[in-house]
Amino acid sequence: MSESSTDHHASATQSAIDQPGLQHVTVERDGITVCTMFPRELSEVDAATHWLTAGPDSFVSLEESR
């Protein structure tokens, strides 16, 4: 049985939702929390320059936002 183009599009869309384009690492050191975000699929060369770091004043916990 073959998949229709509509079914294929729905599967591709769900797959994109399930796998966001960014990942993050949150580290706490000496009482300071830092979150670094970067694209999921990077070469080692690109990983050195394709990232964004947020300091403690740049984000809040989900519990605090609710």
Q: Rounded distance, CA 64 to CA 44, Å?
A: 35
Strand, helix or coil for residue 63: helix
Section 37-66 average pLDDT:
87
According to the model, what pLDDT value does residue 8 have?
43
Mean pLDDT over all residues of the chain?
Answer: 75
Q: Is 34 exposed, middle or buried (0-12, 13-18, 19+ CB in 10 A)?
A: middle
- Buried/exposed code over 2-16 (b: 16+ C-beta within 10 A; e: otherwise): eeeeeeeeeeeeeee
Q: Which of 18-27, 33-42, 46-55 has the lowest mean pLDDT?
A: 18-27
Claim: this prediction has a pTM higher than 0.75? no
In the beta sheet, which residues pair with residue 35? Answer: 26, 54
